[in-house]
Structure 1
């Protein structure tokens, strides 16, 4: 049986503004089925930070056959097929061509740039809500399960941290699209796990930088940065999230489940921790409020996720921020050699 505290390894492998979406009714978690081995698993968003981490962790922990999907291609069994992830017909054609029958679809694809979502709403709706609908349609065809990656941005951030039972109330368009995706999955009739997470970090190896990587990059270049001191949340190591997804699949869990780091802090505190972990000069960090910084879309300011359910169902043991940042530093150093 795999354990939580593993070494970081790179081996082995909403439409209009007026649309209303109901609060999802959480399916009863099912954990009494036996583990399933030798499954066929599709990971969408395979070029993203989380997608890459999922593929790496699943290769390491399982004997499952893995396929990867990007915005335009489907990779499986050593072959590459063109695909439109928003088209059910395109999915069916690609799967028929390769003979691939998915047992699980992990939907890690999303438009996560919150300000861009606020100003490019049709694109955000397609990327976040419409894609989730297509995924569930395909899952019904193949009787496959779905793991939908979601976010704390479904909440308003007024009275966090939040459990799975708190009522969502998104305050930006990104959060509305992700809540819509949750509802689509919850009411699709497929076996779906909705995994809410937040503030992801980890080594990205040339991919789009997450917040801690951005801080490290700027401080390494001795660049002054403004960091918000009044926005709170749980930094979450992508490696821990990926392993949690593996456990959710293995234990056949459905419904909403929070997966996040155990330490809740401000963005400023996180940035200072990054400076310490990478031995960089924290005097380049300038503390500001969210109002002072000014952003296109509002954020949930006092957010956070409570993970007691995940601890009970899958034995979640998220690493401390200090350990996670050390792992990130080690992975970066190894890949820079």
Structure 2
């Protein structure tokens, strides 16, 4: 007679009861926070989606009148909004590109400095701690055509125009303000990556006769590429929603020269009270932001940095 002993359910599934109980306890503890986060996130999202399919009326109380895809059809035929998306793309490329180049350059300079690095880094980080609204007000003061310091300096080389009054100069000015404020963040992240580059790796490159440029291109930058990618992701998420400085300095002018999509969204919602169409613009901005973030996360996954 053969005796068959059946394994307990926990042994058949490969998980111990203690592990299941531990996971269940953690899940129960996290459940209230997850539910609260879901309520705070999903209810506004569904409300905005409903607004995008409606004509929102505010007189006599908020009411939604269903219009189907009318707002979405308007979005895809709005030529002015298409120009503003293109302007936002140009602004995004200029600000993020300049901040990455200048930030990495400053980080390399600080990396080579042995004495006084902490003092210089503290001074470099000061713009990052200033509120964007204050940066905008400071920019307006410095670029004022009558008493602004920058206008006076440009006047010495023959430029007599109003920096915030010209179409091209206003756009360049708001780009410069954003670059001035957020380049230190890129420099800080890049410097943290540079300090983690292994010393033997640099010594091996020097022994092989690599020049400074060759070592930078073939050893240092590849070693901090993942750090730079994270810095690029952080700045990209913020640059696509850029609003504060433009709203304070030019408010989208002159002649819509600095009107990016967030400024158009604000005007549509709170100046013209076209909340249905504003919801469409906001949802598209959300989708673009998620797409950019997902692209960066995909690159990080291919590099094996998300595990």
Normalised to the residue count of structure 2, the TM-score between the two structures is 0.24
Instruction: Determine which structure has greater relative contact order: mean sequence separation of CA pairs < 8 Å that are 6+ residues apart, divided by chain length.
Output: 2
**Structure with more of its chain in helix, by fraction:** 2
Normalised to the residue count of structure 1, the TM-score between the two structures is 0.23
Please identify the structure whose Cα radius of gyration is greater: 2
